[in-house]
Structure 1
Amino acid sequence: MPKSKNKFGKYLLIFWGLFITPFLLLIIIMFMASKGWIGEQLPSFEELENPKSNLASEVISSDQNVLGKYYVENRTNIHYYDLSQNVVNALKATEDIRFEDHSGIDPKGLLRAVFRAGKAGGGSTITQQLAKNLFHEKPDTKTERVIQKLQEWIIAIQLERRYTKEEIIAMYLNTVEFSSNAYGIKSASRTYFNQTPDSLSVQEAAVLIGMLQAPTRFNPARNPDRALARRNIVLSQMNKYDFISDEHIDSIIALPIELNFQVEDHNFGLATYFRESLRNDLLKWCKEHINNATGKPYNLYTDGLKIYTTIDSRMQRYAEEAMREHMTEIQKKFTEHWKNKEPWEDHREILEEGKKRSDRYIRMKAAGASTKQIDSAFAAKTKMQLFSWKGDIDTIISPMDSIKYFKKMLQLGFMSMEPQSGYIRAWVGGNDYRYFQYDHVKEGKRQVGSTFKPFLYTLAMQEGYSPCYKIPNIRVTFDLPTGDQWSPVNADGKYGGMLTLKEGLAESVNAISAYLMKQFGPQAMIEIARKMGITSPIDPVPAICLGTPDVSVFEMVGAYSTFANKGVWTQPIYLTRIEDKNGNILQEFVPRKVEAISEETAYLMLSLMQGVVQFGTGGRLRGQYKLGMPIAGKTGTTQNQSDGWFMGITPELVSGCWVGCEDRLVHFRTLELGQGARTAMPIWALYMQKLYADKSLNLYKGDFEAPKDPLNVILDCDKYVQPGDNKTSFDRDF
């Protein structure tokens, strides 16, 4: 009997201990709060209403796809309705099955934790874990941990009062880390499965929820076996609580983990060059705009801005595909063209300059290394990764040889925009942003060659010339201020006869451009180029008629849009609006428009440049590439084939492309290989093929719109009578 009484007393003591413990803890909490020991560290009402976390700012395309992000933590918040029910079920089954029944603290879970002394389940609810994620750092001591736990209870109860169960679920899944630079369920879904949270399957949801216990340990990309075992535990829990039926559990557990793993990084994805150029503009914007919630300038990396752009992800993808297809082939030709020869044989300074611009040289110089030490380091072979169009190459090579390798690499810049709206739809600034950070769309400026000639022809149209006006194909000489003379030559070396302006532009005959320059002078040509959006410095010399100025692809595409937009220059833009994390519009953007030339002049220029495609240097667009839509365009090639250009116009798009090497002294040695029609135009052609094959883009296939008023000139050169002939003129072009 005494033993029985002792046993009964022991159970009674345990019962009262477990029953009284929560009340004692509550009294302790109230006492500590009254002393201010924990109250000072509790979040305020405003903080509870607006919990803070670092949110990535998203760059969004015009067709509502995320192009990329700027972030400290790759996190994008979602709402409960953005979640697959599989995610919610997996979370409840694994972390808090009584989530719907408690008010922040689970008494049963708490008693279990006390009874088991913290083993086999800690008793923390989803709400408590949310409180910890939002408002607490990791404690340094056991005492701090106890105090923090008490604070979590209070915060959890407050959160339950202010938010619905659905909101708490979403908030929690937004705060958790999933390794591989993925924060929050949305980033994790995209990183591991290239999915959105609402489309996750039950096994995919189980993988991600299983990671919450230890994100790195159960990372399916790094530790697939551990991740599989952990996933199956989550699935078993879901079966235990009837989220998965007994009938299906075995077949689901038998499935392997199928990842579509891609760490979201600025160097990957669509429009990397565009996103970097945009970043610089956004950083400036953030400095100039105050976040009312913080009283400080907006932070691009933590404030969760929504940045809506004009880029169309489909068109951007086609531009990048066209670039890769052509650049792969032309790089082969360039490498074969030079074989074992060195383009810099007579210009060794190219390599020296490349060495001095390298990170290795800059680091060694800053560390005080001597010239001998630096030269030795650049001659020593080491492990390197090189870019190639077939894929990255892991090799052992000296830094100097790597410079030689990259100096022979052709580069490009490509941009496509709508002339009426000014919206930039595609932007390719180079081969691969991981290796080549220099943007050849807006930052880079190169000689434009014959693509500059249309500005001179525009001046002629403005002054009353007809596209059918004939000019003698003879050399023209200019007397320069230095006392020297300059007489440009035709690329083919042929002269004689009379050529119409349409023929002169179509065949890019330098003698015709020189004739027009003689009539109007450099300053008039500069003024018309300025009206059409060219802002780069231009020397007022006769040679500009052949395209000597250095101009960006960005400027050239904007200027050519004037021809397709009835004479109105529309500022190229790539932003439509910026919103805060809550969807409030902070700023909207509209392009500036200027009436640069007359509608008739613009239409006449389209007619002239259609000749380039019909019977001129752009003829392969019809023959080889089978493009049937209305096209006006102009090829361009600079001295020694250092730069190849093509500017192409269709009724709805103006697109421009430049191709060349980083150094102008490195180039094709023949015009046949290095002309713009061979180096740049194919990218434009492939791009247009892809666009018009995509029915979802619904591109207009009609002709260029003619002016409403009758033309003052005749475009049919068979009916044209040259002024000065003893015949009646059909137009008033002189």
Structure 2
Amino acid sequence: MAKKRQKKQQQNFFPFIKWFWILFGAGVLSAVLIFLLASWGVFGEMPTFERLENPSTNLATEIISSDGETLGKYYLDDNRTPVAYGDLPQNLVDALVATEDVRYYDHSGIDARGFARALAFLGTKGGASTISQQLARQLFIGVRDKESTTNAILQKVKEWVIAVRLERNYTKEEIMAMYFNIYDFGNNADGIRSAARVYFGKEPMELRTEEAAMLVGMFKNSSLYNPRPHRNPVGTKSRRDVVLSQMAKYGYISEKEKDSLQTLDLNLNYSPELHNEGLATYFRMYMQRWLNNWASDNPKPDGEKYNIYLDGLKVYTTIDARMQANAEEAVQEHMKNLQAEFFHQNTPDRNPTAPFLDVSRGAIDTIMDRAMRRSARWRHLKREGLSEKEIETTFHEKAEMTVFDWNSDSYDKDTIMTPMDSIRYYKTFLRTAMMSMEPQTGHVKAWVGGVDYKHFQYDNVIQGSRQAGSLFKPFVYAAAIDQLRYSPCYTLPDNQYCIEPGKHGNMAAWCPKNSDGKYSGEDMTLKNALANSVNTITAQLIDRVGPGSVASIAKNMGITKEIPEVPSIALGTPDVSVYEMVGAFGTYANQGVYVKPVMVTRIEDKNGTVLYEYTPETKDVLSKDVAYAMVNLLEGVTQYGSGGRLRHTYGVNNTVYKEIITGYPYELNNPIAGKTGTTQNQSDGWFMGMVPNLVTGVWVGGEDRSIHFNRLAYGQGAAMALPIWAVYMKKNYANEELGISQDAFEEPEELSINVDCSKQQDKEEEQIDTEDDLDDLDF
């Protein structure tokens, strides 16, 4: 009886067992089916194998200095530069594993224990997403749809499928690196490298444990945990401390270390990587144009154009970040003082037409009207369809704006003024340009196009061309030494000299005066004449060699602007750029060989494939002995001429000079060749300075030629431009690692031109021979 009852109970229980296994099997099959359907793309597009192998992310193009520093990046929305796993510090990896996925190295994309815990406690004790799942979401799925439970579940399934596929295609280290590289940390910090640089001003490998913990803490929500002031620094610090606690919990750091680190402040070094801030801004903007032109002329193998904002190119430049910083500091130190003096001399009481000089009210109105019509505001309103009358009206309406101010933090000052007043305000500021180049290679080491790119975006290094003044005279001397074999010791009389009307294409007689209007009447060596920029001697030289010869040499040395073949070019009437003049003077230091300035040495794609390598462009212009004779002449400028203040106080109004110069006297005692340049009315001040392995050019002036100092003491090249060169070189010499030469210029083995005037042969005999030679020349 009992057996029958037991058998009957078993028969009654059997259906439950059967249905249990049926339902269990159906559940398993359903799960398998769901995974299969998801992998087949039924619930939405899934990444192909090719996409898994090459997940696409927008990568910023990186501009790299010759000493390995990142100068800047080009990007649209994503400022991302990937780093390899080997470039991640261990504390960063440990912080991520301890906080986001403690069993990361034990699972294959899905953490079963974590998933079970999340189901059991409904996510209150942590989620179940692994690092691989989070990467899958970032790369291929995007933000979850929280409004639809069904879609959220399907997205979760897709994450699982993709996570497993990622684990099959990549190593744990590669997945880890991809996850760090893909995340958006906010504030234009896409990926861990940008985040480390933006928030702490350093490379990832340099991150301290507490800094790594803060960045890992931001993975939870970078918008919420934003460490910047006025955002959420308190919440970010709390989140960082949670990460440190997790690291201690799993043994990555000790409890004592955790307690110590949690007492620290965030200590941000916020360094936003913006296009108009940071180091070498003018150079980076030039490179942006250069790269776009290069990309247009050098398409990808499939014919598509490289996108410098998305394709993650690496551009290796010749700029030395240390020398660039020295150059920018030198410009700022001098120009701030020079500008203060310019303001002092251009008060309404001292100059009613400030900042303009020597021009009529009508001419000033013309200058202002032209500036208004060239402005970005005018172009913008014109595109919006406003009439010219309506646009002009807006230029006289007051508005809030931020303007440049030397005495404000970050050089920004908030104010209220009309756009027309702002145009006049900006014209009161002196402009500058500086470029430094290695003459043997043409490698440009420093490039400063102005005082502040944010407010003055015109690049005076290469966009601007101004009259050269006396800076052009060495071309005349080079032609005379090259063609007539004159030596620096050759003498000519300092008397008023006139070139006959009609000669050399001249329509009238040309009788240039010396800058002081006086003539010594004495014979002067060419070296002394160039050192003191004597116009009468230069006029005699160009009369003997002809303007055509001078123009030809200048063009062969890189001057591309049209040079009229008239005698007045001897005194620097042609417009030239700093870029061209640095290349030209490099010819003298490079033993007569012109090397075109080089800014880019190599371009690589994101995989390291070399896309471009530069080929030097050179031209033999002068013989070695002629070039050396020119160097000897230019050394005279810094020994006892207008550049003498580099070494001592010779010939300087010290009281005036010290008012605008810091660091004077400079006491540079090594061999230096150089040339100052000053144009009419002190509108432009130039200085070119050379040592054997570095040539540097500096220009200072107003935006318009009518903006200038009233006195030569302040407006000459020796006061406006030379100090920038001197401060820059002193900073360079303070860093011995830069290897800037203090040696003498190399003398050719067989020097056919006498440069030692103490050994000069009889002058009369030499000059008689030269006059005989002149009779045989056809000009």
Classify 1:229/1:708 alpha carbon distance in 2 versus 1 (closer, same or farther; 3 Å): same
The answer as to 2:92 corresponding to 1:83 is no
The CA distance in 1 between the partners of 2:478 and 2:436, in whole Å, is 22
Instruction: Tell me the CA shift for residue 233 of structure 1.
Output: 1.8
Instruction: Tell me the CA shift for residue 459 of structure 1.
Output: 0.6
Structure 2 counterpart of 1:5: none
Structure 2 counterpart of 1:334: 342
Structure 2 counterpart of 1:290: 299
Structure 2 counterpart of 1:353: 370
Aligned partner of residue 664 in structure 1, secondary structure:
coil
Q: Deviation digits for residues 93-117 of structure 1, max 9, x if unmatched?
A: 2111111111001111222333344
Query: Which structure 2 residues correspond to residues 162-177 of structure 1 after superposition, within 5 A?
Result: 162-177=169-184
Structure 2 counterpart of 1:29: 34
Instruction: Tell me the CA shift for residue 374 of structure 1.
Output: 3.9
The CA distance in 1 between the partners of 2:23 and 2:451, in whole Å, is 68
Structure 1 counterpart of 2:134: 129
Q: Which moved more, 1:135-144 or 1:17-26?
A: 17-26
The CA distance in 2 between the partners of 1:296 and 1:148, in whole Å, is 34
Which one-letter code corresponds to 2:347 in the other structure? Answer: K
Instruction: Tell me the CA shift for residue 485 of structure 1.
Output: 2.8
The CA distance in 2 between the partners of 1:33 and 1:545, in whole Å, is 80
Q: Deviation digits for residues 231-253 of structure 1, max 9, x if unmatched?
A: 12222222222223223322222
The CA distance in 1 between the partners of 2:25 and 2:355, in whole Å, is 87
Asked whether the 8 Å contact 1:721–1:728 carries over to 2, the reply is: no
The CA distance in 1 between the partners of 2:385 and 2:278, in whole Å, is 39
The answer as to 2:488 corresponding to 1:467 is yes
The CA distance in 1 between the partners of 2:36 and 2:439, in whole Å, is 71
Instruction: Tell me the CA shift for residue 713 of structure 1.
Output: 2.8
Asked whether the 8 Å contact 1:186–1:197 carries over to 2, the reply is: yes
Q: Deviation digits for residues 321-352 of structure 1, max 9, x if unmatched?
A: 11111101111111111122223362322222
Structure 1 counterpart of 2:498: 477
Q: Which moved more, 1:638-647 or 1:395-404?
A: 395-404
Instruction: Tell me the CA shift for residue 363 of structure 1.
Output: 3.0
* CA RMSD, 1 decimal: 2.5
The CA distance in 2 between the partners of 1:381 and 1:686, in whole Å, is 40
Structure 2 counterpart of 1:516: 541
Query: Which structure 2 residues correspond to residues 486-505 of structure 1 after superposition, within 5 A?
Result: 486-495=510-519, 496-505=521-530
Instruction: Tell me the CA shift for residue 612 of structure 1.
Output: 0.6
Which one-letter code corresponds to 1:695 in the other structure? Answer: E
The answer as to 2:679 corresponding to 1:638 is yes
Aligned partner of residue 198 in structure 2, secondary structure:
helix
Unaligned runs of 5+ in 2: 1-16, 649-664
Instruction: Tell me the CA shift for residue 400 of structure 1.
Output: 2.0
Instruction: Tell me the CA shift for residue 136 of structure 1.
Output: 1.9
Instruction: Tell me the CA shift for residue 724 of structure 1.
Output: 4.3
Structure 1 counterpart of 2:254: 245
The answer as to 2:433 corresponding to 1:413 is yes
Q: TM-score, normalised by structure 1?
A: 0.93
Aligned partner of residue 447 in structure 2, secondary structure:
strand
Pairing partner for 1:213 from 213, 220, 232: 220
Pairing partner for 1:178 from 168, 178, 185: 185
Instruction: Tell me the CA shift for residue 210 of structure 1.
Output: 1.0
Pairing partner for 2:718 from 677, 695, 700: 677
Asked whether the 8 Å contact 1:712–1:733 carries over to 2, the reply is: no
Instruction: Tell me the CA shift for residue 50 of structure 1.
Output: 1.5
Aligned partner of residue 743 in structure 2, secondary structure:
coil
Q: Which moved more, 1:630-639 or 1:144-153?
A: 144-153
The CA distance in 2 between the partners of 1:583 and 1:576, in whole Å, is 14
Structure 2 counterpart of 1:304: 312
Asked whether the 8 Å contact 2:506–2:567 carries over to 1, the reply is: no
Structure 1 counterpart of 2:654: none
Instruction: Tell me the CA shift for residue 376 of structure 1.
Output: 4.2
Instruction: Tell me the CA shift for residue 122 of structure 1.
Output: 3.2
The answer as to 2:94 corresponding to 1:94 is no
Which one-letter code corresponds to 1:656 in the other structure? Answer: G
Instruction: Tell me the CA shift for residue 189 of structure 1.
Output: 0.7
Structure 1 counterpart of 2:613: 588
The CA distance in 2 between the partners of 1:16 and 1:99, in whole Å, is 33
Query: Which structure 2 residues correspond to residues 362-441 of structure 1 after superposition, within 5 A?
Result: 362-369=379-386, 373-390=390-407, 391-441=411-461
The answer as to 2:483 corresponding to 1:458 is no
Aligned partner of residue 393 in structure 1, secondary structure:
strand
Q: Which moved more, 1:477-486 or 1:17-26?
A: 17-26
Aligned partner of residue 492 in structure 2, secondary structure:
strand
Query: Which structure 2 residues correspond to residues 45-56 of structure 1 after superposition, within 5 A?
Result: 45-56=49-60
Q: Deviation digits for residues 347-379 of structure 1, max 9, x if unmatched?
A: 322222222222333333444445554444333
Instruction: Tell me the CA shift for residue 65 of structure 1.
Output: 0.6
Which one-letter code corresponds to 1:250 in the other structure? Answer: D
Asked whether the 8 Å contact 1:456–1:525 carries over to 2, the reply is: yes
Pairing partner for 2:64 from 60, 66, 71: 60
Unaligned runs of 5+ in 1: 1-11
Identity %: 49
Instruction: Tell me the CA shift for residue 36 of structure 1.
Output: 4.8
Q: Which moved more, 1:574-583 or 1:109-118?
A: 109-118
The CA distance in 2 between the partners of 1:34 and 1:505, in whole Å, is 81
Which one-letter code corresponds to 2:529 in the other structure? Answer: G
Asked whether the 8 Å contact 1:713–1:733 carries over to 2, the reply is: no
Q: Deviation digits for residues 399-447 of structure 1, max 9, x if unmatched?
A: 2222111101001110010110111111101111101111111111111
Aligned partner of residue 297 in structure 1, secondary structure:
coil
Q: Which moved more, 1:476-485 or 1:256-265?
A: 476-485
Classify 1:149/1:600 alpha carbon distance in 2 versus 1 (closer, same or farther; 3 Å): same
Pairing partner for 1:721 from 737, 758, 762: 762
Aligned partner of residue 173 in structure 2, secondary structure:
helix
Aligned partner of residue 699 in structure 2, secondary structure:
strand
Instruction: Tell me the CA shift for residue 381 of structure 1.
Output: 2.8
Structure 2 counterpart of 1:343: 355
Q: Deviation digits for residues 279-318 of structure 1, max 9, x if unmatched?
A: 11111212233335x7622211111111111111111111
Structure 1 counterpart of 2:669: 628
Q: TM-score, normalised by structure 2?
A: 0.88
Which one-letter code corresponds to 1:635 in the other structure? Answer: T
Pairing partner for 1:617 from 619, 642, 645: 642
Query: Which structure 2 residues correspond to residues 656-695 of structure 1 after superposition, within 5 A?
Result: 656-695=697-736
Classify 1:25/1:498 alpha carbon distance in 2 versus 1 (closer, same or farther; 3 Å): farther
The CA distance in 2 between the partners of 1:299 and 1:728, in whole Å, is 64
Aligned partner of residue 291 in structure 1, secondary structure:
coil
Aligned partner of residue 212 in structure 1, secondary structure:
helix
Matched residue pairs, number? 718
Q: Which moved more, 1:708-717 or 1:637-646?
A: 708-717
The CA distance in 2 between the partners of 1:598 and 1:604, in whole Å, is 10
Which one-letter code corresponds to 1:532 in the other structure? Answer: M
